[in-house]
Chains A and B, each alone.
Chain A
Amino acid sequence: MFLKHFYSTDHKIIGLLYGFTSLFFLLVGFSLVVLIRWQLAYPGEPVPYVGGLLGAANAPGGVILPEFYNQLGAMHGTIMVFLGVVPLAVGAFGNYLIPLQIGAPDMAFPRLNLASYWFYFVGGAIMLGSFLVPGGAANNGWTSYPPLSDLAPGNGQTWWLAGMLCLIFSSLLGALNFITTIVQLRAPGMTWFRLPFFVWAQFVTAFLLLLAFPALQAAALLQGMDRLAGTSFFLPSGLAVSGQPLDVAGGGNALLWQHLFWFLGHPEVYVLILPGMGIVAEVITNNTRKPLWGYRLMVYSLFVLGFLSFVVWAHHMFLTGMGTVISAFFQATTMIISIPSVVILSSLILSLYGGSIRFTTPMLFALAFLPMFGIGGLTGLPLGLATTDIPLHDTNYVVGHFHYLVAPGTIFALFAGIYHWFPRMTGGRMMNDTLGRIHFVGSLICMNVIFLPMFVQGLAGVNRRLWDGGAVYAHAQEVLSLNIPMSMAAFGLAFFQLFFIVNLFLSLRGPRTVTDNPWGATTLEWQTGPVAALRVYRDPYEYSVPGEPTDFLPQNVGPAPRSGPAE
Chain B
Amino acid sequence: MHIPYTTDVRPDTGLTNPKLGIWLFLASEVMLFGSLFSAYALLRSGSTSWPDQSAVLSVPFATLNTVILISSSITMVLAWVAAKAGELRRFRLFMGLTLVLGAAFMVVKAIEYNDKFSHGLLPSTDNFLGLYFTMTGVHAIHVLVGMVVNAYLLWPGSAMFRSDSVRFTNRVEIAGIYWHFVDVVWIFLFPVLYLL
Chain B residues, CB < 8 A from A105: 1-4
Identity of the chain A residue whose Cβ is nearest the Cβ of B125 in the assembled complex? A249
* Number of interface residues, chain B, beta carbon within 8 A: 42
**A106 CB to nearest B CB, Å:** 5
Residue of B15, B35, B122 contacting most chain A CB atoms (<10 Å): B35
State in angstroms the CA–CA spacing of A180 and B134 once bound together.
31
Please choose the segment from A217-225, A354-362, A387-395, A401-409 that sits at the chain B interface, where 4 or more of its residues have CB less than 8 A away: A217-225
Identity of the chain B residue whose Cβ is nearest the Cβ of A10 in the assembled complex? B1
State in angstroms the CA–CA spacing of A177 and B47 once bound together.
41
Does the CB pair A210–B28 fall under 8 Å?
A: yes
State in angstroms the CA–CA spacing of A512 and B178 once bound together.
49
Question: B127 contacts which of A183, A211, A233 (Cβ < 8 Å)?
Answer: A233
Does the CB pair A233–B24 fall under 8 Å?
A: no
B130 at the interface (CB under 8 A from A): yes
Chain A residues, CB < 8 A from B21: 108-109, 112, 176-177, 180
**B33 CB to nearest A CB, Å:** 8
State in angstroms the CA–CA spacing of A105 and B46 once bound together.
53
Does the CB pair A231–B134 fall under 8 Å?
A: yes
State in angstroms the CA–CA spacing of A9 and B39 once bound together.
38
Classify chain A's interface size: 35 or more
Known: A230-B124, A249-B124. A217 touches B32 (CB 8 A): yes
B52 at the interface (CB under 8 A from A): no
Known: A176-B21, A176-B28, A225-B130. A256 touches B124 (CB 8 A): no
Chain A residues, CB < 8 A from B164: none
State in angstroms the CA–CA spacing of A221 and B122 once bound together.
17
B29 at the interface (CB under 8 A from A): yes
State in angstroms the CA–CA spacing of A210 and B48 once bound together.
35
State in angstroms the CA–CA spacing of A232 and B46 once bound together.
13
A446 at the interface (CB under 8 A from B): no
Does the CB pair B1–A106 fall under 8 Å?
A: yes
Q: Produce 1/0 per residue, A155-188, CB < 8 A to B.
A: 0000000000000000010011101100111000
Question: B15 contacts which of A176, A183, A222 (Cβ < 8 Å)?
Answer: A183
A252 at the interface (CB under 8 A from B): yes
A251 at the interface (CB under 8 A from B): yes
Does the CB pair A106–B3 fall under 8 Å?
A: yes
B167 at the interface (CB under 8 A from A): no
Identity of the chain B residue whose Cβ is nearest the Cβ of A173 in the assembled complex? B25
State in angstroms the CA–CA spacing of A107 and B4 once bound together.
10
State in angstroms the CA–CA spacing of A217 and B34 once bound together.
11
Does the CB pair A110–B3 fall under 8 Å?
A: yes
Question: A229 contacts which of B3, B4, B130 (Cβ < 8 Å)?
Answer: B130
A260 at the interface (CB under 8 A from B): yes
A435 at the interface (CB under 8 A from B): no
A-B contact count (CB 8 A): 129
A432 at the interface (CB under 8 A from B): no
Interface of B is mostly: helix
Chain A residues, CB < 8 A from B124: 229-232, 248-249
A203 at the interface (CB under 8 A from B): no
Known: A105-B2, A214-B32. A251 touches B48 (CB 8 A): yes
Question: A251 contacts which of B1, B28, B43, B122 (Cβ < 8 Å)?
Answer: B43
Within 8 A of B (CB), among A244-271: 248-249, 251-253, 256, 259-260, 263
Does the CB pair B17–A251 fall under 8 Å?
A: no
Does the CB pair A183–B125 fall under 8 Å?
A: no
Identity of the chain B residue whose Cβ is nearest the Cβ of A228 in the assembled complex? B123
B187 at the interface (CB under 8 A from A): no
B89 at the interface (CB under 8 A from A): no
**B132 CB to nearest A CB, Å:** 10
Question: B123 contacts which of A112, A177, A184, A225 (Cβ < 8 Å)?
Answer: A225
Chain B residues, CB < 8 A from A252: 43, 127
Identity of the chain A residue whose Cβ is nearest the Cβ of B9 in the assembled complex? A184
Does the CB pair B3–A253 fall under 8 Å?
A: no
Does the CB pair B13–A218 fall under 8 Å?
A: no
Chain B residues, CB < 8 A from A412: none
Chain A residues, CB < 8 A from B17: 108-109, 180, 184-185
Q: Produce 1/0 per residue, B1-26, CB < 8 A to A.
A: 11111100010010111001100110
Does the CB pair A222–B134 fall under 8 Å?
A: yes
A215 at the interface (CB under 8 A from B): yes
Identity of the chain A residue whose Cβ is nearest the Cβ of B42 in the assembled complex? A256
Within 8 A of B (CB), among A270-326: none
State in angstroms the CA–CA spacing of A78 and B178 once bound together.
32
Identity of the chain B residue whose Cβ is nearest the Cβ of A177 in the assembled complex? B21
Within 8 A of B (CB), among A5-22: 9-10
Does the CB pair B28–A214 fall under 8 Å?
A: yes
Does the CB pair A221–B3 fall under 8 Å?
A: no
**B59 CB to nearest A CB, Å:** 23
Besides A108-B6, A218-B36, 6 other A-B contacts (C-beta < 8 A): A108-B3, A172-B25, A183-B13, A225-B134, A231-B134, A256-B39
Q: Could you write out 27 A-B pairs with CB less than 8 Å apart?
A: A105-B2, A105-B4, A108-B21, A179-B24, A180-B20, A180-B24, A183-B13, A183-B15, A184-B5, A184-B10, A184-B13, A185-B17, A210-B27, A213-B28, A215-B35, A221-B134, A222-B134, A229-B133, A230-B124, A231-B123, A231-B130, A232-B124, A249-B127, A251-B127, A253-B46, A260-B39, A263-B35
Q: List 8 tightest A-B contacts by C-beta distance, closest first.
A: A230-B124, A231-B130, A218-B35, A214-B31, A214-B32, A176-B24, A229-B123, A108-B17
Which residues of B approach A to under 8 Å, CB–CB?
A: 1-6, 10, 13, 15-17, 20-21, 24-25, 27-29, 31-32, 34-36, 38-39, 42-43, 46-49, 122-127, 130-131, 133-134, 138
